Amino acid sequence: MSNSISKKRKISKKAKYKDIINIALAGNANVGKSVIFNQLTGLSQTIGNWPGKTVEKMEGHLNFLGYHFNIVDLPGIYSLSTYSLEEIISRAYIVSEEVDIIINVIDATNLERNLFFTFQLLELKVPMILAINQMDIFYKRNLILNFKKLEDIFKLPVIPVVAVHGKGVHKLLEEAIELVVYKHPTSHYIQNSKKIHEQLSHDDKKVKNDLSIKKTFQFPDLSSILKCGKEVETKVYELIRNVDKFSNYFSKFNYPSRFLAIKILERDEEIEKLFKANQETSYIIDLVEKYRKELEEYHGEDISTIISSEIYTNIHKIIEEVVNVKTHVEKKLFWADKIDHLTTHSFWGYVILALILFGIYFFTFLIGDFFGGVIEDMFEALNNFIYEVYGDDNLGVKIFWEGGLGGLFGAVGGVLVYVIPFFLIIEILQDSGYLPRAAYLMDRFMHSLGVHGKTIIPMILGFGCNVPACTGCRIMETEREKKISIALTSLVPCAAVMTVVLGLVGRYVGITWVLILFVINFIVIIIVGKILNKILPGQCTELIMEMHEYRVPNYSVILKQTWVRTKEFIYKAMPIIIISGIILEILFMFRLLDPVNSLLSPITVYWLGLPAITGIFLIYGILRKELTLVLLALLANSMGTTLLGLLTPFQMIIFSLVTMLYIPCFATVVLIAKETNWKFALKITLLEIGMALLIGGIINWGFIFLTSF
């Protein structure tokens, strides 16, 4: 049988003449792609969406050995089918001319599942490096991986990597230079960074100026490992022969003929469109139907199952050749296994989960309250000095000191001191591998709300920020589960809300009332989940996810990610807080807030029992929830009093409760609309505002009724 037409990938002109190499990181979810991405690019990252799509795009840059690398972290996917938007985007990008090389990240502890995706990438004939990650865990299992044999089989560079500790990461770039610039991969066994650096320095000028090196990359012949069984291979060969007749038409799509043949046999919708779009090639569709029917009747299974089975057969053969077990090694129960057993235990697992959640709040409150107090004392001391020098009635002092710098001190002492320790804890839990265990424990309970346990992952991330947490709801398998997950996640008290609760109720009323408020919040989440489970058509799917082994967190990665999360608040929220403080001070001085507060007073004063001035702050909270606390503190300072002089302890509780439950920040509403639609986002918004006002009013009037006796 002849092979499909060899696909030749031209080295991009950008890579040739401007020393730019474009890399895409591809692999399954949770294999360490993002860790490698962070190790390579550090803080030189941009986060956006793919053009016209809701899928997040991570892109980073770095300079290495005289070359500039653009690196894109593709969404984690399990195949190159077109069942999801992530798979469609990833496949289109991989075969585009924007990519010079693919780094396929593979989890060494799950070779069988990961190599399935690798086999599909091989069918695309793209210049590729295999990065075998989590080798430290692999070795702890007393296993040996024959890298030399694996390289001989795939005829591509295979690099052992421990991404969390940065081991092997930069070797990936060295191999990328070898593949893209010099057209020949070197074995990692003979690689030497200094040697390669010297070679590149010596040849750099020649590489840039010698036009004769404008060669093409010839993908190695892997027909021996990609070949299917006789019955399937015969049909694939016939389809390839027919596809090759129209090579001029199909070449513009950058898909090799064998890939096209297999995908159209699997009923790939995007590939079928290519065949139907050309009248001359549409006859192949009928031929495919005939071959598919014959294969399904012969094997007694669906065509996708047949082809997957053929691929896994080849994968099993490779694993048998390259993976060996160490002999004469006493089996030990590693610390990770012991912790795994405890954190998934039917009783102790829930105890540990409860302790972890309580620990998050306690740690955040302890750190935030201490530093918040220090900053507040510092501001008071500076306040006294400024007033002694410039006087109490100085207009500039009132506007720029009390409004502007007062807002800055309030943002740092009332918000940032809580945000940083909270994000730090969340990153530690994520990097250590605890979050999937939490999903496993919560699966049965989450089913009662119409979703499976995987929803707990974005919900826990929602404690940090609702925006990325709602984005994380894309991991849900159905649109119904995605909508319910987004609704529940939007109700999770984010770091900004927690700042308001801890900075107001925690500081002035007591930690007991903080816990009561969070209990009320979670009861509301349960009620909303049960309502949506009843009214949205469909049923919940079962939980299918993999729990990776525990590992010691990489604190450099954790600190980088904490900074990435924190800088968003510093760059986006702080300017708003400072400007809002100045505007608020001006409005307060000229009594321009009175009309707005009067308009809202039937709700704020008579229903919720709050001071009239709080109405405008609840509106500000739509932009950023932490603004409510900061602006309250600014107002109290302007009036020459404290927060306890502005609000009674009970009013602090009501104000914090309403802030917790009513509409999430505007950015979250926009994100919900992008992920679902504006109609659903509006319904969620109105539902949450209604429940917040209803519950706040009931508690207020209940308190009035009880204290009247």
pLDDT for residue 98 is more than 50: yes
pLDDT for residue 199 is more than 60: no
pLDDT for residue 236 is more than 80: yes
Q: What is the CATH number of domain 224-325?
A: 1.10.287
- pLDDT tens, residue by residue, 653-668: 999 999 999 877 776 7
Distance CA 473, CA 245 (A): 44
pLDDT for residue 697 is more than 90: yes
**Per-residue pLDDT, 507:** 85
Q: Are strands 20-27 and 56-64 parallel, antiparallel or unpaired?
A: unpaired
Whether the CB-CB separation of 121 and 77 falls below 8 Å is answered with no
Q: Which residue has the higher pLDDT, 343 or 541?
A: 343
For 563, what's the count of Cα atoms within 13 Å in the CB-facing half-sphere? Answer: 11
Q: What is the DSSP letter of 542?
A: P
Local confidence band at 194 (pLDDT 50, 70, 90 cut-offs)? very low
Local confidence band at 327 (pLDDT 50, 70, 90 cut-offs)? low
- pLDDT tens, residue by residue, 449-505: 878 777 777 787 677 677 667 766 766 767 788 888 889 988 888 877 888 888 889
Distance CA 695, CA 704 (A): 14
Whether the CB-CB separation of 401 and 575 falls below 8 Å is answered with no
Distance CA 698, CA 685 (A): 20
User: Three-class SS of residue 109?
Assistant: helix
The CATH homologous superfamily for domain 8-218 is P-loop containing nucleotide triphosphate hydrolases (3.40.50.300)
- Residue 279 has which token pair? 């009248």
In sequence order, which ranges of 403-453 are alpha helices (DSSP H)? 406-411, 417-432, 435-447
Burial class (CB within 10 angstroms; exposed 0-12, middle 13-18, buried 19+) of 14: middle
**C-alpha dihedral, 622 to 628 to 634 to 637, nearest 10°:** 150
**Per-residue pLDDT, 202:** 45
Mean pLDDT of 85-89: 79
Residue 281, C-beta contacts closer than 8 angstroms, at least 6 positions apart? 243, 246, 249, 274, 275
What percent of the chain lies above the pLDDT cut of 90?
A: 18
Lowest mean pLDDT among 50-54, 367-371, 429-433: 50-54
Amino acid, res. 17:
Y
Mean pLDDT of 101-115: 91
What percent of the chain lies above the pLDDT cut of 70?
A: 81
Nearest Cα to Cα of residue 15 among 89, 101, 88, 82:
101
Distance CA 30, CA 431 (A): 10
Amino acid, res. 470:
C
- pLDDT tens, residue by residue, 548-583: 677 777 777 788 777 876 776 677 667 766 776 677
Query: pLDDT averaged over the chain?
Result: 79
Mean pLDDT of 338-347: 82
Whether the CB-CB separation of 490 and 532 falls below 8 Å is answered with no
- pLDDT tens, residue by residue, 115-161: 999 999 999 988 899 999 988 888 877 888 999 999 999 999 999 99
- pLDDT tens, residue by residue, 576-608: 667 766 776 777 677 676 787 788 889 999 999
Residue 486, C-beta contacts closer than 8 angstroms, at least 6 positions apart? 470, 473, 672, 675, 676, 684
Distance CA 300, CA 308 (A): 14
* Equal fold, 8-218 vs 224-325: no
Local confidence band at 43 (pLDDT 50, 70, 90 cut-offs)? low
**C-alpha dihedral, 602 to 606 to 609 to 614, nearest 10°:** 20
- pLDDT tens, residue by residue, 356-403: 877 876 787 778 778 877 887 787 777 777 777 776 666 777 677 766
Local confidence band at 196 (pLDDT 50, 70, 90 cut-offs)? very low
Local confidence band at 214 (pLDDT 50, 70, 90 cut-offs)? very low
**Per-residue pLDDT, 25:** 94
Q: Which residue has the higher pLDDT, 453 or 266?
A: 266
Distance CA 497, CA 373 (A): 19
**Per-residue pLDDT, 198:** 45
Amino acid, res. 561:
Q
Whether the CB-CB separation of 48 and 57 falls below 8 Å is answered with yes
Per-residue burial over 90-107, b = 16 or more CB atoms within 10 Å of its CB, e = otherwise: bbebbbeeebbbbbbbbb
**Per-residue pLDDT, 707:** 83
Radius of gyration of the chain (CA): 30
Distance CA 432, CA 35 (A): 12
Distance CA 520, CA 536 (A): 24
Distance CA 592, CA 588 (A): 6
Mean pLDDT of 326-341: 64
Report the predicted TM-score, pTM, of the whole model to 2 decimal places.
0.61
**How many residues does the structure list for the chain?**
709
